[in-house]
Structure 1
Amino acid sequence: MAEAVSDRQVVAVLRPFVRACAPMLDALRDSDPFGLQARARRGEDEFADDGLRKKVLDALTSVKVPGTAAWAAMDIDQRAGWWVNRVGRLTALLTSIPGLGGALADRLPVQDALGAASQGLLLCALAGEYGVTDVGSRVRLIASVLFDRDVDPRLAAGEHAGHDESAEDSAAEQLTEELDESRRTHGKVTVKAVAGTLWRLGRSLWGITGELEKRPRGRFYHRLIGMLPVLGAAGDYFGERAGLKTVWKRAHAWLMANSSRWD
């Protein structure tokens, strides 16, 4: 029988994970990743006709993505829905790829590691929309929603003997190396860099493999389809999408129950 995973072990793994999630989410939220505002600025020069220019700018800024006026006008639930439906589709697709191997892939920790990383990334995004920015609170949110653990706030904040801030910094930097390289090479974060970083995030969770099985999943028929070669990817995809919706429901309940901590 495997030795039980302690809260301290969970925190030690999740703190670098949470810190590594921040750069990718910040890029998506704050840096106009889809180029809409840049296109809007170019539109001011490219269209001599004021009426046409206004139509172009209105069309660009009405798209509901981070960095637009439409995004700023959305409420928290609408933004949360965007993260679940738009970003969730990408991470669920990447997570489902091991399902091409059917039951063989399901016996390996790859599926659970990538799935937990995707869900943890989404939870950090949702926390940000609620104004929850400190690492400790995000660690507690992930531990509660994914692993059904009520971690002590001081432990999650790193206020314990043996906590090594420099080692945590180094671990987080290693997890985001591909994001940094993508920015240097392409001037933006590419899908390839996101996929590579998701893989690194997933591998970082292998230290608590036993906990990963507790995360929200799809229904039983998703798992049955997931055991089939090739078709397993489709079952895993829809299973991961269903799991993300459960993550959002649990996260909303946890954030509301603990809102007094950051009001």
Structure 2
Amino acid sequence: MGETISDRQVVAVLRPFVRACGPMLDALRESDPFGLQARAAEDLAEVESGLKAKLIHGVTSVKVPGTAAWARMTGYDRSSWWMNRVGRFTALLTSIPGLGGALADRLPVQDALGAASQGLLLCAIAGEYGVTDVGTRVRLIAWVLFERAIDPDLAAGKHAEHDEAAEADEAAKLTEELRESEKKHGKATVKAAGRTLWRLGRGLLGITGELEKRPRGNLFHRALGMLPVVGAAGDYLGERSGLRVVWKRAHGWLTEHAPPATAPR
């Protein structure tokens, strides 16, 4: 039996993780990453009616971050979008180790990637509830994934051992792939996002014992995941099932802790 992991150890790992999740998620949420609004505004200035205007309206009605349709969605619906649309992508990445069947399942890779995916999405939906500070997001992840009630001051880094500079440096290392992609391509590519997820997962290995507690699939999903090749399908279904539990727990926790003016109804 391994040593007990303290709340302070959990916080030390989660704070740089949360800080690393911020840049990628905030760029998607607060900017116009697909350029849809900007192009629509330019084209609508040229035409007042007709087929072209209808087509542009159709484009801007697509519900993705940065569009007018996204701005009109409720916070609850935007949070559901993160869990369902983006969750499919992260669940797929997490299930790749399942190609190795039982061997992969005996390694911490699956849990590390799965916890990173779930933590990333928790940070995303926290923003839709108006929760932007690192400490509260740390408490959210710890409670939803590990069923830990972390002291608010500890989660906020208000203790003698907290090293702000080291934490910022660790967060920067976790997002190195994203920065390089933005410099080279002007945006974060899917490849860079995938590699960053792997980095985020590795960053959680310091609390491997806790990662096993995260929500995941049932016995059927786990049994299927033990088989070579088809294990990836079992792991994918298990991750999707786990995300539904994560979303339910997160909604309850955030409804109680989010700022009243921004909590989704």
TM-score bracket relative to the smaller structure: over 0.9
Q: What SS does structure 2 have at the residue aligned with 1:252?
A: helix
Per-residue Cα deviation, 1:131-176 (whole angstroms, up to 9, x for no partner): 0000000000000000000000000000001110000110000000
What CA distance in whole angstroms lies between the structure 2 residues aligned with 1:102 and 1:36? 42
Q: Distance in 2 between matches of 1:262 and 1:49?
A: 37
Q: Which amino acid aligns with 1:54?
A: A
CA distance in 2, matches of 1:131, 1:208: 28
Aligned ranges for residues 1-263 of structure 1 at < 5 Å? Answer: 1-41=1-41, 43-44=43-44, 50-259=49-258
Distance 1:103 1:42, change over 3 A: farther
Q: Distance in 1 between matches of 2:54 and 2:257?
A: 43
Structure 1 distance, partners of 2:169, 2:240, is 32
Secondary structure in structure 2 of the residue aligned to 1:221: helix
Query: In 2, distance between residues paired with 1:49 and 1:257?
Result: 46
Shift of 1:43: 3.4
The Cα offsets for residues 172-204 of structure 1, whole Å up to 9 and x where unpaired, read as: 000001111111111111100100000000000
Q: TM-score normalised to the size of structure 1?
A: 0.95
- Residues 221-257 of structure 1 deviation map (CA, whole Å, 9 limit, x = unaligned): 1111100000000110111011111100000111122
SS in 2 for 1:217: coil
Shift of 1:38: 4.0
CA distance in 1, matches of 2:32, 2:202: 29
Q: Distance in 2 between matches of 1:218 and 1:50?
A: 51
The letter of the residue matching 2:35 is G
Question: CA distance change for structure 1 residues 231 and 151 in 2, over 3 Å: closer, same or farther?
Answer: same
CA gap of 1:48–1:258, structure 2 versus 1, over 3 A, is closer
TM-score using structure 2 length: 0.95
CA distance in structure 1 between the aligned counterparts of 2:181 and 2:114, rounded to whole angstroms: 23
Distance 1:22 1:125 in 2: 8
Q: CA deviation at 1:29?
A: 1.2
Quote the sequence identity (%): 72
Which amino acid letter does the alignment assign opposite residue 249 of structure 1?
Answer: K
CA deviation string 1:73-127 (max 9, x = no partner): 1111111110011100000000000000000000000000000000000100110
Residue correspondences, number: 262
SS at match of 1:8: helix
Structure 2 letter corresponding to 1:28: L
Amino acid at match of 1:251: A
CA contact (8 A) 2:19 2:134 kept: yes
Where does structure 2 lack aligned partners over 5 or more consecutive residues? Answer: none
User: Hey, what's the Cα distance between the residues in 2 that align with 1:37 and 1:30?
Assistant: 12
Give the Cα separation in 2 of the matches to 1:48 and 1:64. Answer: 23
Residue identity opposite 1:18 in structure 2: V
2:216 and 2:238 in contact (8 A); partners too: yes
Q: Which amino acid aligns with 1:234?
A: A
Alpha-carbon distance in structure 2 between the residues aligned to 1:66 and 1:76: 12
Q: Distance in 1 between matches of 2:225 and 2:39?
A: 42
Residue type of the alignment partner of 1:26? D
Alpha-carbon offset, residue 30 of structure 1: 2.1
C-alpha separation between the residues in 2 aligned to 1:260 and 1:184? 36
Q: Aligned-residue CA RMSD in angstroms?
A: 1.6
Code of the aligned partner of 1:188 = K
Q: Give 2:178's aligned amino acid.
A: L
C-alpha change, 1:41 and 1:258, in structure 2 (3 Å) is: closer
SS of aligned partner of 2:50: helix
Any conservation in 2 of the 1:132–1:262 contact (CA below 8 Å)? no
Report the alpha carbon displacement of residue 27 of structure 1 after superposing the two structures with TM: 1.8
Q: What is the CA-CA distance between 1:44 and the residue it aligns to?
A: 4.4
The worse-fitting range, judged by mean Cα deviation, of 53-62 and 185-194 is 53-62
- Once the two structures are TM-superposed, the CA of residue 32 in structure 1 deviates from its matched residue by 2.1
